[in-house]
Structure 1
Amino acid sequence: MNPDILRDRFSPVLESLRWLFVALPLAGMVPALTPVTGAVAAAAFLSSLPLLWLPAWPPWVLPVSLTVLAASSGTLWVLQPHGLTSVVPFTTVFYAARFLTARAGLGVAVSVIAMLVVLYVRDETNIHSALLNVTMVGVVMLLGLNRRSRAERMEQTELALARARTAAEEHALAAALAERARIARDLHDVLAHSLSGLALNLQGARLMLLRDGANPEVLAQIERAQRLASDGLTEARRAVAALREDPVPLERAIADLLTGYRLDSGAAAELTVQGSPRPVGAAPATTVLRTVQEALSNTRKHAPGASVHVALSFSEDGIEVTVTDHQGRAPAPADTAGYGLRGMAERADLLGGRLSTGPGEDGWRVRLALPA
C-alpha cells in the first residue's frame, strides 16, 4: 500500500504519539517541580491538550494554545535547563509551523530562539550548544512546513481527482444524452414518419376496399393493421419524448389523439387552441388527456363516423377543454354517465376542477375545467 495512504490513515495515532513529546518530558519533571515550576508545567500541559483533537475548533483555540505552550515550555527550559524539558519547545515549533499561519509559526519559533538567547546569556549553554539548538529550531520548523506542504499537496491532488471524476461523469452524461438525442431523431425521422405514411396508406386502402365492396374479412384485417400502425405511431412519439426527457406539450398530445381518431374512423377531427399555451403539470395534463381519450372512445361507440372538434383554452384562471362530436342530429339524453366519464369527474374533483357532459345542438359535448 502507498506509504502516504498509510500515513494519512493512521494520522490520528501519529498525532497522539507526537503529543507524547510534550506529555512525557512534563511528566518526567514532576519529582523536581517547585510551586512556581509546577504552575508553569500545569499551564504547559493544559495548553497541549488541543493537540489531541486536531484540527482544533474553533479556529482560535490552536494558535492560543501553541502560544501558551511555547511561552510556558520555554520558561520551564530557562528555569530547569537540564533534562528533557527542551523537547517540548521543539515540538511546539513543529506544530506551529505545520498548523499555524507563516507569521504565527515564525513568532513561535522566534520566542523559542529568545529563550535560547536567555540560556546563553545566563551561561547555561556554550556557543556551540546555542548554535546547535538554533539550528534544531530551524530544522524542526522546516520539517513542520514540509509536512504542511505535503498535506496541502495531497488535498490539492484529491481535489483535482474529484474534479477530474466530475468532468469525466459530465462528459459521459453529455455523450449519453447526445446518443439518446440521435436515437430520438432517428425514431422521429424514420420510424414515426414511416408509421404515419403506413397508416395513411392503410386508410386509403380501406376506403378503396369499401368503395369496391370488398370482403368484410379483408376490411377487418386492413382496419386492424391501421390500428396497429396508429398505436405504433403513438408509442414511437412517446419513446422520442422519453429519450429527449422533454414532456410532450399538452396541445401536441391532444393532436396525436385526434390523429389516431382520424386514422381509425376516417372522420374529421379538429383542434383549436385559445390563449397562450404553457407547460402543464403531470396530474392536470393526464386528466385532460384521459378526458379527451374517453370522449373519443364514447364517440366511436355511440356515434361512429361523427366528426369531432376539440377546443383547448389556456387562461390565467386555468385550463379548459371541450370535446364536441357532430352527429348531424340532436342526441338523446343519457340516463346515467358511463364509468369512464364518472371516473374522469372524480379525477377532476381531486384537482379542484369540474367535468360536465350533455347533449349539444347536433352531438354530445364533454367539458372539463381545471384551475390554475
Structure 2
Amino acid sequence: MRWALVAVPMVAAMPHADLRAWLLIGVTLALSIPLLWIHDARVRPLTTALPLAVIATTGALWVLLPSSWASVAMSSTTFFVVLRQSTVPIVLAVGLDFAAITAGAARYDVWKGALSTYAVLAVIVLMGLNRRARLARIEQTELALARAQTANEEHARAAALAERARIARELHDVLAHSLAGLALNLQGARLMLVRDGASPDAVAQIERAQTLASEGLAEARKAVAALREDAVGVERAIADLLAAYRLDSGARADLQVEGEPRELGPAVGTALVRAVQEALANTRKHAGQADVAVTLNYAAGSVELTVADRQGRRPPDAPAAGYGLRGMGERVALLDGRLESGPGEDGWRIHLTVPA
C-alpha cells in the first residue's frame, strides 16, 4: 500500500511527461522499491536517505507537472517519514515539501493556491505526529502488559516454590525422621532377635521390614531434594534470560535450538546458562539495545552455544578479557571445552563447545 502511493502517481504522470519528467519518474520508482523492505526499520543512513530522496524527486516532478498526482506521492512519503523517523529527517522532509510548494507557486504565480497547500502539508504532519503518538502509547501499553504478565508469572512461581519448600520441610521433618527412626528400631530388633536365638523366619521378616524402611527413607530424601532444587531445563533457563532482556531493552532476543535436545549434566547446564547470562550483561553494558541471537546446538557428543549481538557495526577489539569472560573460560575449561569470543562483522560473538 505504501509503495502504491508512490508508484501509482508516477504511472499516472507518464502520459504527460517530457524527458525531464520521465527521468524524475524513473529515479523515483527506482528509489521507492527498497522502501518495500525497509519502511519499518529504525533510523539508519539508508532508511533516512531514501524517503528524503523520494520526496525531493516527487516534489520536483510536481513542479514540472502541477496537474499530476506527484503531490500524492510526496505527501504520503512525508507522512511515513513523520511516522517513523527522528526529528532531523522530519525537519528535512518538511523543508523539501515547503521548497517544492514555494517553487511551484513562484513558477506559475499561484500564491493563493500555495496557502491551501501549505495548510494541507501542516495537516499531514499533524496526522503523522498523532499516529506516531498513538503507536507509541500502544507499544508502551503492550510492554506494560508484558511486564505485568511476567511479574504475575514470577509471583506464581515464587508462591509455588514457597509451597514446595513447605512440603519439603514437612517431608524432611516428619516422614524422613520417622522412617529413619523406624529403620534404626528395626535394626535394633533384628540384633536382639539374633542375640536371643529367634527363628530365621522372624529375623528375615525384620530384615525385609528394615529394607523397606531404608528404601522409603531414600525415596523421601530424593523427593525432598527434587522439591528444593526445582531443576529447570537449559532451554527454559536461557529462554527466561532472553525474555528478561527483551523486556528490559525492547530489542529482539531469539533462541534457536538445533539437533535433538537431551538431558545435560548439572555442570554443563550451569556453564551454558551462565555463558548466556554473562553475554547479555556485556551486551547491555557495551551495546545498548542491540538485538541478540542465541543458538543452542546439540551435536554428537557435545553441545555448542553461540551468542551474537547485532550492533550494526564491527565493535572494537577488547583491550583485555573482563572477569566475566575469564570466569566463563575457566568454567568451560574445567569441562574440557573450548571458548571463543571476539568482534564479528556487526557485533560481538561468543561461541563455546563442551562435551555432553
Distance 1:59 1:231, change over 3 A: same
CA distance in 1 between partners of 2:196 and 2:68 (Å) = 120
Match of 1:326 in 2: none
Question: Does 1:186 pair with 2:160?
Answer: no
The answer (yes or no) to whether the contact 1:50–1:56 under 8 Å persists in 2 is: no
Question: Does 1:43 pair with 2:61?
Answer: no
Question: Does 1:19 pair with 2:3?
Answer: yes
Match of 1:99 in 2: 84
The answer (yes or no) to whether the contact 1:81–1:124 under 8 Å persists in 2 is: no
Match of 1:197 in 2: 181
Which of 65, 73, 78 is the equivalent residue of 1:88? 73
Alignment of 1:135-154 (within 5 A): 135-154=119-138
Deviation digits for residues 304-334 of structure 1 (CA, Å, limit 9, x no counterpart): xxxxxxxxxxxxxxxxxxxxxxxxxxxxxxx
Distance 1:165 1:79, change over 3 A: same
TM-score, length of structure 2 as denominator length: 0.60
Deviation digits for residues 186-225 of structure 1 (CA, Å, limit 9, x no counterpart): 1111111111111222222233333433343333222221
Deviation digits for residues 91-118 of structure 1 (CA, Å, limit 9, x no counterpart): 1211211122122112111221122222
In structure 2, runs of 5+ residues without a counterpart are 232-264, 268-356
TM-score, length of structure 1 as denominator length: 0.57
CA distance in 2 between partners of 1:146 and 1:282 (Å) = 53
Distance 1:239 1:60, change over 3 A: same
The Cα RMSD (Å) is: 2.5
CA distance in 2 between partners of 1:23 and 1:39 (Å) = 14
Q: CA deviation at 1:242?
A: 1.8
Question: Does 1:112 pair with 2:97?
Answer: yes
Distance 1:124 1:246, change over 3 A: closer
Number of residue equivalences: 233
Query: Could you say what secondary structure the match of 1:82 adopts?
Result: coil
Q: CA deviation at 1:131?
A: 1.6
Aligned partner letter, 1:64:
A
Which of 182, 185, 203 is the equivalent residue of 1:219? 203
My pick for the range that moved more, 77-86 or 118-127, is: 118-127
Match of 2:349 in 1: none
Deviation digits for residues 111-143 of structure 1 (CA, Å, limit 9, x no counterpart): 21122222333344242x222111110111122
How many percent identity over aligned positions?
A: 50
Query: Could you say what secondary structure the match of 2:110 adopts?
Result: coil
CA distance in 2 between partners of 1:50 and 1:146 (Å) = 26
Deviation digits for residues 313-362 of structure 1 (CA, Å, limit 9, x no counterpart): xxxxxxxxxxxxxxxxxxxxxxxxxxxxxxxxxxxxxxxxxxxxxxxxxx
Deviation digits for residues 219-245 of structure 1 (CA, Å, limit 9, x no counterpart): 322222122112211221122122222
CA distance in 1 between partners of 2:63 and 2:102 (Å) = 10
Question: Does 1:122 pair with 2:110?
Answer: no
Bigger radius of gyration among the two: 1
CA distance in 2 between partners of 1:42 and 1:114 (Å) = 22
Distance 1:57 1:151, change over 3 A: closer
Aligned partner letter, 2:182:
L
Which of 51, 55, 76 is the equivalent residue of 2:40? 55
Match of 1:362 in 2: none
Q: CA deviation at 1:56?
A: 5.3
CA distance in 2 between partners of 1:234 and 1:22 (Å) = 75
Query: Could you say what secondary structure the match of 1:29 adopts?
Result: helix
Moved over 6 A (4+): none
Query: Could you say what secondary structure the match of 1:39 adopts?
Result: helix
Deviation digits for residues 125-168 of structure 1 (CA, Å, limit 9, x no counterpart): 242x2221111101111222222223333333332233223222
CA distance in 2 between partners of 1:246 and 1:143 (Å) = 53
Distance 1:46 1:246, change over 3 A: closer
